């Protein structure tokens, strides 16, 4: 999965429409292979972002859970810790191969 797309479900405060749109943009960029579409592709790109954002919002609004809401701050800390572990593994692999 693209590491730039984050979990959006079950947060307090709830996920904003801006966060949903940002995730949709990341998804379309990944799928299209383009971070900035040409003028010829801008309309298709924007339409895909709009459709994916709408579908994501419907999904999030329809999901139910008994789990307590997550903290964005705590999830950010966990994400940084996972990143650090990944980087340490990569450094060990690179130094072991030389």
Helix axes of 17-32 and 39-62: crossing angle, nearest 10 degrees: 130
Q: How much is the pLDDT for 3?
A: 61
**pTM for this prediction:** 0.77
For the segment 5-21, what is each residue's pLDDT rounded down to a tens digit? 788 999 999 999 999 99
Parse the chain into domains and list their residue ranges.
Answer: 1-67, 68-98
The predicted structure's pLDDT at residue 21: 96
Please name every residue paired with 11 in a beta bridge, in sequence order, or none if there are none. Answer: 70
Tens of pLDDT, residues 55-93 = 999 999 999 999 999 998 998 899 899 989 999 998 888
| CA 90 to mean position of chain CA atoms | 22
Q: What is the pLDDT of residue 94?
A: 86
Beta strand ranges found along the chain (DSSP E):
none
CA torsion through residues 60, 56, 82, 1, sign: positive
């Amino acid at each position: 999965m693209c590491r730039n797309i984050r979990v959006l479900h079950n947060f307090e405060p709830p996920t904003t429409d801006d966060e949903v749109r940002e995730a949709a943009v990341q998804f379309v960029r990944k799928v299209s292979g383009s971070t900035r579409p040409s003028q010829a592709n801008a309309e298709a790109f924007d339409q895909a972002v709009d459709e994916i954002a709408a579908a994501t919002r419907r999904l999030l609004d329809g999901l139910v859970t008994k789990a307590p809401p997550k903290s964005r701050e705590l999830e950010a800390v966990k994400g940084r810790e996972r990143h650090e572990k990944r980087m340490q593994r990569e450094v060990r692999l690179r130094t072991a191969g030389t």
